[in-house]
A and B are shown apart, each in its own frame.
Chain A
């Protein structure tokens, strides 16, 4: 099966929610729609499901136009942000419900309910009611119900957003493995770049109702085509510094200078935007060619494995990511170090003109 969205536009009242969307999905593919809240991800999923009709454009399933066809007549399953289950039915009956509606035989239903429940580690809870489960378990039930029917199109709308981070971490890994085994088209929306990367597959970066970039997820992450894509694909936020290239040198901010080396060598003189992700900023010097940026600490956010230091540089907020727990005093004057080789360079229109080389990373371990 294939799913094609062709010139899809969606207007609600006077507002346009989706602008001329063109996307293609193949059977067995994992696809992530990445974008901020209100980017249009849910609107897009609802059109794919057949819950809503586009204002213009067509939805094609294996070449057939299904634009007006009701969701009931399509092979689709959907998981929502909120945990939606039948409150008066046991977990078993919740999971079994799509098969019951499809009039599958009892023995077959039983086999598949148990297998699916096992896959999601809720096999011990089949006799309970949803309300007796934790949030994480309730969402597992909803996911199990979506998986059991072998729908050709599996849509998940930020399914992990309401869960604790440890649960999220575990379910992400499990979902990745479950999706790999499915023949269905899986479309998964998220606001988190890390989640997108963890699921892998293809990505469509969406912002304000438009598709900004598509491709393999790691490819897009490592080569964000515009400053906007770089922003959506970075958490913590990517650091941007305005700068100028002139006479073989780069000048950024009010006092940062570096030679025009590495991936930037062939760039012409002019004004540019330089973007660098927080994990490439450091509080210690790693190389003699590192550039120094003086800044003042505003906050250190600690998640356990990493510390994100928010610092002010001339009215600009920079975020530095350090491994482990780093104690930094608010208000402290610090020096941030960054390698000239780690900047994305964008032209004045915000289009990518140079990405950091990945050669060193993709080489073999020695």
Chain B
């Protein structure tokens, strides 16, 4: 088991990188605690697989160090790092039985057959693989195969961390929830460091205690699922987490208000004070779920016009025009739908301010 530290890691696939855009990873400085369930979340091309390959040792970074429990492993290949990996597609010995697949890493290390059997049976039981132990791996469904991949990591008592790269890609939707639950159970039981790379919000947020959101070669925020939703520190996090993403409105600050052209939106005092001092492009951000739509005017509300309403079954998305800018509100199914002219309330605790895409705090 290990605490994994990335120290000023920078990587470019080009021999002589010139501009910032030549870097797949710009500057990663980060620690994953021993026994944590961590996710790396981001769209394709954000650098998350590059980062995972640096953690596993498949790739040596251009600059910076990788430490496992304080020990520098930057130059060590994967097999010397005591990690196990689960990839997108199951990697197994197809012609071997499930038992022999699970036993393989142990036999490689010269464990006695008694110990091998004991450990394999124990892990198979946890993964619900016991009934398949004598079956050949090739005939099994994708979810069983992914469990075997995971099992081969779990059987080893010396494993420092298990790395997952989009492990549920080939799993049927109906089986996904079961595997998500299994992974959480296993993490709870083994207390291993799990690092889980995915572009899928549900997978990252369901699995991890700490999610690192990556965007254009940078980690823009590390936080709990709740932090990411309720307090996004970067415009991209606001957009990427939640459906629909956060609303952003260009604004200026006057006193305690964010001015969106003619409309004044009251901010909490602290946010306004920081906003007055901030430089760069200022934007107000609010999640569609927190934006209130009223038919009548009230204290601090601003006037807007309803452009359209989409009924999505369990909720509705109302598209609104405010001073020439579009924003969305998300209303629960059982709330009546507004029409024409409406009044918007921006609850101050959910109204955030961003300067050049970063949360002012």
Q: Are these two chains actual partners, yes or no?
A: yes
Measured CB to CB, the residues of A under 8 A from B are 134-135, 164-166, 169, 191, 193-194, 197-198, 200, 218, 221, 277-279, 298-305, 310, 321, 323-325, 327, 330, 360-366
Q: Give the Cβ gap from A158 to chain B, nearest Cβ, in Å.
A: 13
For window 235-250 of B, CB contacts with A under 8 Å fall at 239-245
Q: Give the Cβ gap from B319 to chain A, nearest Cβ, in Å.
A: 9
A364 touching B240 in the complex, CB below 8 Å, given contacts A299-B181, A302-B205, A324-B230: no
Do the beta carbons of A299 and B244 come within 8 Å of each other? no
Q: Which residues of A contact B225 (CB under 8 A)?
A: 302, 304, 325, 327
Do the beta carbons of A194 and B313 come within 8 Å of each other? yes
Q: In this assembly, does B312 line the interface, its C-beta being within 8 Å of a C-beta of chain A?
A: yes
Given contacts A279-B332, A310-B177, 9 further A-B contacts (CB under 8 A): A135-B44, A191-B173, A302-B225, A304-B205, A305-B243, A361-B335, A364-B295, A365-B339, A366-B295
Among A169, A193, A277, A303, the most chain B Cβ lie within 10 Å of the Cβ of A303
**Least CB separation from A192: chain B residue:** B173
Q: In this assembly, does B77 line the interface, its C-beta being within 8 Å of a C-beta of chain A?
A: no
Do the beta carbons of B293 and A303 come within 8 Å of each other? no
**Least CB separation from A277: chain B residue:** B314
Among B200, B201, B239, the most chain A Cβ lie within 10 Å of the Cβ of B201
Please tell me the size bucket of the interface on B. 35 or more
Interchain CA distance A168-B214 in the complex, whole Å: 19
A323 touching B206 in the complex, CB below 8 Å, given contacts A299-B177, A303-B243, A305-B330: no
Q: In this assembly, does B300 line the interface, its C-beta being within 8 Å of a C-beta of chain A?
A: no
Instruction: Kindly identify which residue among A193, A200, A323, A366 contacts B296, using a CB–CB cutoff of 8 Å.
Output: A366
Do the beta carbons of A300 and B206 come within 8 Å of each other? yes
List 28 contacting pairs A-B, 8 Å CB cutoff, sorted by A.
A134-B44, A134-B45, A165-B201, A165-B243, A166-B239, A166-B240, A169-B244, A194-B312, A197-B311, A218-B311, A221-B313, A279-B315, A298-B181, A301-B206, A302-B205, A304-B242, A305-B289, A310-B181, A324-B230, A325-B205, A325-B225, A325-B228, A325-B230, A327-B226, A362-B336, A365-B294, A366-B295, A366-B296
Measured CB to CB, the residues of B under 8 A from A are 43-45, 173, 177, 180-181, 184-185, 188, 199-202, 205-206, 224-226, 228-230, 239-245, 287, 289, 293-296, 310-315, 330, 332-339, 342
Do the beta carbons of B243 and A330 come within 8 Å of each other? no
Q: Which residues of B contact A279 (CB under 8 A)?
A: 313-315, 332-333
Do the beta carbons of A361 and B334 come within 8 Å of each other? yes
A301 touching B177 in the complex, CB below 8 Å, given contacts A135-B44, A194-B312, A324-B230: yes
Instruction: Kindly identify which residue among A191, A298, A304 contacts B201, using a CB–CB cutoff of 8 Å.
Output: A304
Interchain CA distance A299-B179 in the complex, whole Å: 11
Q: Give the Cβ gap from B342 to chain A, nearest Cβ, in Å.
A: 8
Q: Give the Cβ gap from A32 to chain B, nearest Cβ, in Å.
A: 13
A304 touching B314 in the complex, CB below 8 Å, given contacts A165-B201, A324-B289, A325-B205: no
Interchain CA distance A366-B181 in the complex, whole Å: 43
Q: Which residues of B contact A321 (CB under 8 A)?
A: 314
Do the beta carbons of A323 and B289 come within 8 Å of each other? yes
Interchain CA distance A193-B173 in the complex, whole Å: 14
Do the beta carbons of A197 and B313 come within 8 Å of each other? yes
Q: Which residues of B contact A164 (CB under 8 A)?
A: 43-44, 199-200
Q: Give the Cβ gap from B194 to chain A, nearest Cβ, in Å.
A: 15
